């Protein structure tokens, strides 16, 4: 029996309305400010675009219906998030950007009723933004989460947190932080982490510096944040103590796939710009699109996009079935991150000098946005290592059975 890869009419309609919204309401703003969200207005722009997205019926397609979202499954999110990703401001406009989208997903799955009311509801409705604080400077937690050095110590009625975080996306202007801190063991030990919810105005939380990266579309930036004797009451522990990494898996796999969805939209946009350009540009006695070398780049782009989409569909299928999907998400994330860079790089090459002009075409901007994806949410090398480790473990178990 054939596998049904089609989408319901409601999803198809939502994709069409999202494309129209991005084209008419979002892309002009991105172009006007060359993709710099801070220059475009930051949170004021976010609130303005969120309001327009609500009017268009495309706001928060991932969020629970009880909070005004559309409650889409992972599989149904894929084409909608891709459509939004055609503009690097699109995810912000629909309230599906990192880290808020992943935090909504995790809070909806594991937050207590108190936490849902205090943290999830205002986040899901777009009233506030959030940040997920795990990454630290060396030798702390980064690609290797076991290096976690931020500590949380039990005190009367709760916990006292001390530590320093780096590359915390959205930290500037976030209403609350989800803080990963060590509650057992020492840096280097596996496990022993706990997640804590803390309002940004809590004494001891300080956003100290913006880390300026090549991407400019992440609202709130990528920041260094210091936690000094931050008190978190027991009721704001997210999940169980010492089980933070296990609970974080609820977020990590799906968040990697929604990154793939969004940046798929950017890569598709770059490819379309390039194909349109070479189909109109004359040279060497004909159109550039008639040249074999150009045709090879077009075909390779089509192949990379098709392969990335197929891997994404498979990973979302496993996630929707409730599977851990470790291999599927690592494979889709690694291939997608590298494929999208290849697609945009070829697109730049096809457009020649205009390809590297930041004012004439969006390609250089898209390249700067997509390049960090090979690092964000786990470097490609770490995902390859994890996939290989699991493959070897399966082989050993097969021999022993």
Answer for the pair 358, 269: CB distance below 8 angstroms, yes or no.
no
Q: Which residues pair with 206 in a beta bridge?
A: 226
pLDDT band for 62, please (50, 70, 90 cuts). very high
Which CATH code of 1.10.287.3510, 3.30.1180.10, 1.20.140.10, 3.40.250.10 fits the domain covering 245-400?
1.20.140.10
d(CA 218, CA 171): 10
Phi/psi of residue 85, each to 5°? -70, -5
pLDDT at site 246: 92
The domain locations on the chain are 9-96, 130-242, 245-400
pLDDT digits 0-9 by tens, 174-224? 999 999 999 999 999 999 999 999 999 999 999 999 999 999 999 999 999
Answer for the pair 42, 221: CB distance below 8 angstroms, yes or no.
no
Q: How far is CA 92 from the centre of its chain?
A: 11
pLDDT digits 0-9 by tens, 37-51? 999 999 999 999 999
Q: Crossing angle, helix 43-56 and helix 9-21, to 10 degrees?
A: 140
Contacts of 188 (CB under 8 A, 6+ apart): 146, 147
Q: Which fold has domain 9-96?
A: Butyryl-Coa Dehydrogenase, subunit A; domain 1 (1.10.540)
Answer for the pair 193, 244: CB distance below 8 angstroms, yes or no.
yes
Nearest to 325 by CA among 214, 250, 376, 243: 250
d(CA 210, CA 213): 9
Q: What is the CATH number of domain 130-242?
A: 2.40.110.10
d(CA 125, CA 21): 19
pLDDT digits 0-9 by tens, 148-163? 999 999 999 999 999 9
Lookup: tokens for 5: 């890869």
pLDDT band for 118, please (50, 70, 90 cuts). very high
Answer for the pair 225, 205: CB distance below 8 angstroms, yes or no.
yes
Answer for the pair 232, 158: CB distance below 8 angstroms, yes or no.
yes
d(CA 13, CA 79): 11
């Amino acid at each position: 029996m054939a596998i049904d890869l089609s989408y319901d009419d409601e999803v198809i309609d939502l994709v069409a309305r999202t494309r129209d919204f991005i084209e008419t309401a979002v892309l002009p703003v991105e172009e006007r400010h060359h993709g710099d969200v801070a220059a475009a207005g930051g949170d004021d722009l976010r609130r303005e675009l969120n309001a327009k997205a609500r009017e268009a019926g495309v706001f928060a397609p991932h969020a629970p219906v009880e909070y005004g979202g559309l409650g889409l499954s992972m599989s149904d999110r894929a084409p909608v998030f891709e459509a939004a990703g055609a503009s690097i401001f699109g995810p912000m406009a629909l309230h599906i950007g990192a880290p808020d989208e992943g935090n909504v997903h995790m809070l909806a799955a594991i937050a207590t009723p108190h936490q849902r009311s205090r943290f999830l509801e205002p986040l899901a409705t777009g009233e506030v933004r959030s940040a997920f604080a795990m990454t630290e400077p060396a030798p702390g937690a980064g690609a290797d989460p076991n290096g976690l050095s931020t500590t949380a110590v039990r005190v009367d009625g709760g916990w006292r947190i001390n530590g320093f975080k780096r590359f915390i996306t959205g930290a500037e202007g976030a209403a609350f932080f989800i803080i990963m801190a060590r509650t057992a063991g020492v840096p280097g030990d596996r496990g022993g982490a706990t997640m804590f919810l803390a309002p940004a105005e809590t004494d001891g939380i300080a956003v100290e510096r913006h880390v300026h990266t090549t991407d400019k579309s992440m609202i709130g930036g990528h920041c260094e944040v210091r936690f000094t004797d931050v008190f978190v009451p027991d009721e704001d522990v997210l999940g169980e103590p010492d089980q933070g990494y296990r609970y974080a898996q609820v977020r990590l796999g799906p968040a990697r796939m929604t990154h793939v969805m969004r940046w798929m939209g950017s890569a598709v946009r770059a490819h379309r710009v390039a194909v349109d350009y070479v189909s109109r540009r004359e040279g060497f006695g004909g159109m550039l699109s008639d040249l074999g070398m150009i045709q090879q780049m077009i075909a390779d782009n089509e192949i990379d996009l098709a392969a990335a989409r197929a891997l994404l569909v498979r990973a979302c299928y496993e996630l929707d079935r409730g599977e851990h999907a470790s291999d599927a998400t690592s494979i889709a994330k690694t291939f997608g991150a590298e494929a999208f860079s290849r697609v945009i790089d070829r697109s730049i090459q096809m457009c020649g000098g205009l390809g590297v002009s930041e004012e004439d075409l969006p390609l250089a901007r898209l390249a700067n946005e997509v390049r960090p994806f090979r690092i964000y949410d786990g470097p490609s090398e770490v995902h390859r290592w994890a996939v290989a480790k699991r493959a070897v473990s399966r082989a050993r178990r097969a021999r022993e059975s």
